[in-house]
């Protein structure tokens, strides 16, 4: 029995029983040394070169783990990258937060297919870029790596990415499991919550990825309810395997994910990455009776099952797939579709042909595509805002000042008709906190990590206020990973765009929007508050506390409950055209409910409506959110066109955690409503579900 024999056996009878038998038989052929080798990353030498040798960088080549040459078992070959494949100067796509703003699952599936092709071309077979951690508070430095604040949105985006990866022979690895949403204290913070919060809020999106076929999952650094995630039997075994039926393997987050190898293995953590550290002592732990050979075999079998199921689907992909013209065009499309228009007074946008434009601000002509941590993609070029606008409007029509000095900016703009101001954050203000390799008590300024403030930098706001005095229309473009509180200055701007971190073609995409070549139709994947204190509590480095309660409410569910005003709601976004929703109705189906409605483009430009379906439980004797997103569709419509749209929601997606029965189940009745902008809602009806259907 070798690896190819195991693959052939499974392909002849592709069911769970055969998979288990084939993997177990292959495991039995291995020596103990080979089995222990299967559970370890082998990137120690590669990692040292990556971090210390000039011209090299993190994950420049795939990081290997496991493998058994004697039996033809290939190693797991890891690549990172929520915004693209980190290896080999790949295509830098917009960050997931911007892709979440597209509300476009077809787009995300195509992006995932591009990721899979570039991963295969670079020699990888596992993609650890499906980041679906929940955005609780925009202070979180790595918010840019996920899709937003809503579990359903996270789950749908993660689900389509998982399917695309697995179908293309790349092992899908959702991360970071679980309750990971504080960066600076990621090695020490203890996130605490009750079961209702865990199952209703923080786990549904992970389950969707498992149900979609993910064959690996990455444990987080933090603790959950007092136990580190990579040593947490409740998460890794009780829920992930016993409740959800996960067949694949769990791997650690890098370097500091595991503190006790034997404890992690017994909890259900299978592979230590990226090198041998705590798992180097598994042999000694076996001799001392801390672990059993059966536990080692179980972990090895899980890795083998992932390889058997996934790798035969991988096709040969030429190196030319990396940074191909098709992928570059797709990155530009994603940047256009994820741009959110927040304000457009008097229809200033789109700009007329021949407009004279001044592009100013700290990011006017500066590469700004996200943090410099593990998600960094080393594309050979990036189109800045100035370069993109110059490409579209012509060099003679566009001036630039890259900085925040009001006098210099005004001078650059003196002959312009419009001023485009680039503000926000970069890798120095938010992102992965690589300085924090332990429990440090202070944080160097400009070292990434969690945000220090939810407002844009003071010099950015001062620049906006100064340029308002010119009397020229101001178009403010905000770059950054998640929400900013902008109430103090938003009235000064004629137009406000949110372009997040938009990838290597971001400047061209911005020009497409400004010129009207493309219609901005993105929607906010988070809520923009009026006051920073309106968001849930957050822990910063230096805090005396190391434990934080993760409450049941956050994001729009919290604002709905507290009835606090927000500046821009979840799902909000403007367009260069108008849409109407009508004739909405709801009906029961065998699997849940279906909502139908008519969507019409009532304006004079083509554009995309983003229909969002919300469900509200009619149960009055239990604490329930006022509404929850349960479906969405991006609907392209030509001017004057209308379409009939159907959105289906499953009974599983309607379920809440039942404390008494310790399981998920739907309530007896729900009302449904739809919206295109997060503000105006159209009722679709109320449905009752019989007790037997629960």
Q: How many CB atoms lie under 10 A from the CB of residue 619?
A: 14
Catalytic residue among 184, 253, 477, 512: 253
Q: What is the pLDDT of residues 639-671, one digit of tens each?
A: 999 999 999 999 999 999 999 999 999 999 999
Q: By C-alpha distance, which of 353, 369, 274, 304 is closest to 19?
A: 304
> Are residues 42 and 77 located together in one domain of the fold?
yes
- pLDDT of res. 56: 64
> Are residues 169 and 309 located together in one domain of the fold?
yes
Q: By C-alpha distance, which of 175, 188, 169 is closest to 123?
A: 169
Listed in sequence order, the DSSP H helices in 481-539 are: 506-515
- The residue among 298, 320, 342 that closes a domain is 320
> Are residues 552 and 676 located together in one domain of the fold?
no
In this structure, are residues 337 and 330 in contact, taking their beta carbons and an 8 Å threshold?
no
Known catalytic residue at 253: yes
> Are residues 601 and 548 located together in one domain of the fold?
no
pLDDT greater than 80 at residue 50: no
- pLDDT of res. 544: 82
- pLDDT of res. 675: 98
- pLDDT of res. 43: 77
In this structure, are residues 253 and 221 in contact, taking their beta carbons and an 8 Å threshold?
yes
> Are residues 350 and 238 located together in one domain of the fold?
no
> Are residues 405 and 298 located together in one domain of the fold?
no
Q: Look up the domain containing 351 and give its range.
A: 334-567
> For the residues 438-452, what does the mean pLDDT come to?
73
pLDDT greater than 80 at residue 177: yes
For the chain, count helices (H), then strands (E): 20, 27
> Are residues 253 and 278 located together in one domain of the fold?
yes
> For the residues 50-60, what does the mean pLDDT come to?
60
CA dist., res. 566 & res. 564, Å (int): 6
Beta pairing, strands 418-424 & 398-401: unpaired
Q: Give the pLDDT band of residue 51 (cuts 50, 70, 90).
A: very low
Residue 438 covered by a domain: yes
Q: Give the pLDDT band of residue 541 (cuts 50, 70, 90).
A: confident
- pLDDT of res. 694: 39
Q: What is the pLDDT of residues 247-265, one digit of tens each?
A: 999 999 998 899 999 999 9
User: In DSSP terms, which residues pair with 588 in a beta bridge?
Assistant: 593
Q: What is the pLDDT of residues 480-523, one digit of tens each?
A: 999 999 999 999 999 999 999 999 999 999 999 999 999 999 99
- pLDDT of res. 691: 56
- pLDDT of res. 434: 73
pLDDT greater than 90 at residue 543: no
Listed in sequence order, the DSSP H helices in 359-487 are: 385-393, 406-412, 458-468
Distances from the Cα of 453 to the Cα of 57, 447, 524, angstroms: 30, 14, 20
The string over 163-194, giving b where at least 16 C-beta atoms fall within 10 Å of a residue's C-beta and e elsewhere, is bbbbbbbbbbbbbbbbbbbbbbbbbbbbbbbe
Residue with tokens 């592709």: 14
In this structure, are residues 260 and 240 in contact, taking their beta carbons and an 8 Å threshold?
no
In this structure, are residues 684 and 585 in contact, taking their beta carbons and an 8 Å threshold?
yes
- The residue among 538, 567, 596 that closes a domain is 567
> Are residues 420 and 460 located together in one domain of the fold?
yes
CATH number, position 639: 2.60.40.10
Residue with tokens 């508070």: 137
Average pLDDT, the chain: 95
Q: How many residues does the chain have?
A: 694
Find the helix packing angle between 151-167 and 204-211, rounded to 10°. 20
Coil, strand or helix at 393: helix
CATH number, position 358: 3.40.50.1700
Residue 18 covered by a domain: no
Q: What is the pLDDT of residues 117-175, one digit of tens each?
A: 999 999 999 999 999 999 999 999 999 999 999 999 999 999 999 999 999 999 999 99
- pLDDT of res. 59: 87
CA dist., res. 270 & res. 278, Å (int): 12
Beta pairing, strands 642-650 & 592-601: antiparallel
Residue 530, judged by CB atoms within 10 A of its CB (0-12, 13-18, 19+), counts as middle
What is the side-by-side order of every strand in the sheet holding 190-192? 227-228, 223-224, 190-192, 547-549
Q: Give the pLDDT band of residue 397 (cuts 50, 70, 90).
A: very high
Which residues does 155 contact at the CB level (< 8 Å), separation at least 6?
132, 204, 205, 207, 208, 209
> For the residues 182-200, what does the mean pLDDT come to?
96
Beta pairing, strands 357-361 & 418-424: parallel
- pLDDT of res. 436: 59
CATH number, position 221: 3.20.20.300
> Are residues 316 and 455 located together in one domain of the fold?
no
- The dihedrals phi and psi of 424, each to the nearest 5 degrees, come to 125, -135
Number of domains the chain is built from: 3
- The residue among 567, 601, 625 that closes a domain is 567
> Are residues 594 and 552 located together in one domain of the fold?
no
> Are residues 563 and 583 located together in one domain of the fold?
no
Q: By C-alpha distance, which of 147, 175, 140, 370 is closest to 254?
A: 175
pLDDT greater than 90 at residue 216: yes
Coil, strand or helix at 57: coil
Residue 295 covered by a domain: yes
Listed in sequence order, the DSSP H helices in 288-423 are: 293-310, 325-338, 385-393, 406-412
Residue 187 covered by a domain: yes
pTM: 0.96
> Are residues 626 and 516 located together in one domain of the fold?
no
Q: By C-alpha distance, which of 609, 84, 87 is closest to 330?
A: 84
In this structure, are residues 587 and 594 in contact, taking their beta carbons and an 8 Å threshold?
yes
Q: What is the pLDDT of residues 73-88, one digit of tens each?
A: 999 999 998 999 999 8
Residue 5 covered by a domain: no
Residue 174 covered by a domain: yes
Residue 6 covered by a domain: no
Residue 17 covered by a domain: no
User: In DSSP terms, which residues pair with 216 in a beta bridge?
Assistant: 249
Q: What is the pLDDT of residues 357-387, one digit of tens each?
A: 999 999 999 999 999 999 999 999 999 999 9
């Amino acid at each position: 029995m070798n690896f190819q024999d195991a693959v052939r056996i499974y392909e002849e009878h592709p069911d769970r029983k055969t998979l288990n038998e084939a993997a177990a038989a292959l495991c039995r052929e291995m020596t103990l040394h080979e089995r222990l080798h299967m559970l370890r990353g082998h990137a120690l030498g590669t990692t040292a070169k990556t971090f210390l040798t000039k011209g090299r960088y993190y994950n420049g080549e795939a990081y290997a783990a496991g493998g058994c040459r004697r039996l033809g078992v290939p190693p797991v070959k890891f690549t990172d990258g929520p915004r693209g494949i980190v290896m080999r100067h790949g295509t830098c796509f917009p960050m997931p937060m911007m892709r979440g703003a597209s509300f476009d699952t077809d787009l995300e599936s195509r992006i995932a297919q591009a990721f899979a092709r570039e991963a295969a071309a670079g020699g990888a077979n596992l993609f650890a870029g499906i980041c679906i951690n929940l955005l609780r508070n925009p202070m979180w430095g790595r918010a840019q790596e996920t899709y937003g604040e809503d579990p359903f949105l996270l789950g749908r985006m993660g689900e389509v990415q998982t399917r695309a990866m697995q179908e293309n022979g790349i092992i899908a690895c959702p991360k970071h499991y679980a309750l990971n949403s504080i960066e600076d204290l990621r090695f020490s913070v203890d996130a605490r919550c009750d079961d209702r919060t865990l199952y209703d809020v923080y786990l549904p999106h992970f389950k969707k990825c498992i149900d979609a076929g993910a064959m690996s999952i990455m444990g987080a650094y933090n603790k959950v309810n007092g136990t580190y995630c990579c040593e947490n039997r409740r998460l890794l075994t009780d829920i992930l395997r016993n409740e959800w039926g996960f067949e694949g393997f769990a791997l650690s987050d890098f370097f500091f994910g595991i503190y006790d190898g034997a404890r992690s293995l017994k909890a259900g953590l299978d592979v230590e990455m990226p090198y041998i550290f705590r798992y180097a002592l598994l042999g000694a732990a076996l001799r001392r009776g801390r672990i059993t050979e059966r536990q080692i075999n179980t972990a090895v079998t899980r890795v083998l099952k992932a390889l058997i199921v996934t790798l035969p689907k991988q096709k040969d992909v030429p190196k030319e797939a990396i940074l191909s013209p098709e992928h570059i065009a797709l990155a530009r499309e994603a940047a256009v579709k994820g741009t959110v228009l927040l304000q457009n007074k008097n229809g200033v946008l789109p700009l007329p042909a021949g407009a004279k434009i001044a592009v100013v601000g700290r990011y006017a002509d500066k590469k700004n595509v996200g943090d410099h941590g593990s998600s960094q993609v080393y594309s050979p070029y990036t189109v800045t805002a100035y370069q993109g606008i110059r490409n579209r409007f012509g060099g003679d029509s566009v001036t630039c000042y890259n900085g925040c000095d009001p006098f210099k900016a005004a001078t650059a703009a003196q002959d312009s008709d419009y001023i485009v101001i680039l503000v926000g954050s970069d890798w120095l203000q938010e992102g992965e906190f690589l300085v924090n390799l332990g429990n440090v008590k202070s944080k160097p300024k400009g070292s990434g990590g969690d945000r220090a403030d939810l407002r844009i930098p003071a010099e950015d706001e001062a620049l906006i206020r100064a340029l308002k005095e010119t009397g020229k229309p101001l178009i403010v473009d905000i770059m950054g990973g998640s929400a900013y509180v902008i109430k103090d200055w938003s009235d000064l701007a004629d137009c406000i765009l949110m372009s997040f971190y938009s990838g290597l073609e971001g400047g061209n995409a911005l020009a497409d929007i400004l010129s009207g070549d493309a219609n901005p139709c993105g929607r906010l994947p988070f809520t923009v508050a009026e006051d920073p204190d309106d968001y849930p509590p957050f822990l910063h480095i230096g805090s005396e506390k190391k434990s934080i309660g993760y409450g049941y409410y956050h994001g729009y569910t919290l604002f709905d409950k507290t009835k606090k005003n927000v500046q821009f709601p979840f799902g909000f976004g403007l367009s260069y055209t108008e849409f109407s929703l009508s004739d909405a109705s709801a009906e029961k189906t065998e699997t849940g409910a279906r909502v139908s409605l008519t969507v019409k483009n009532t304006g004079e430009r083509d554009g995309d409506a983003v229909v969002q379906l919300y469900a509200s439980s009619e149960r009055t004797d239990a604490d329930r959110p006022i509404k929850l997103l349960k479906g969405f569709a991006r609907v392209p419509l030509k001017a004057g066109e209308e379409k009939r749209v159907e959105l289906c929601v499953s009974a599983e997606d309607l379920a809440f955690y039942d404390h008494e029965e310790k399981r998920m189940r739907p309530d007896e009745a729900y009302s449904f409503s739809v919206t295109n902008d997060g503000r105006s809602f159209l009722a679709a009806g109320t449905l009752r579900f019989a007790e037997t259907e629960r």
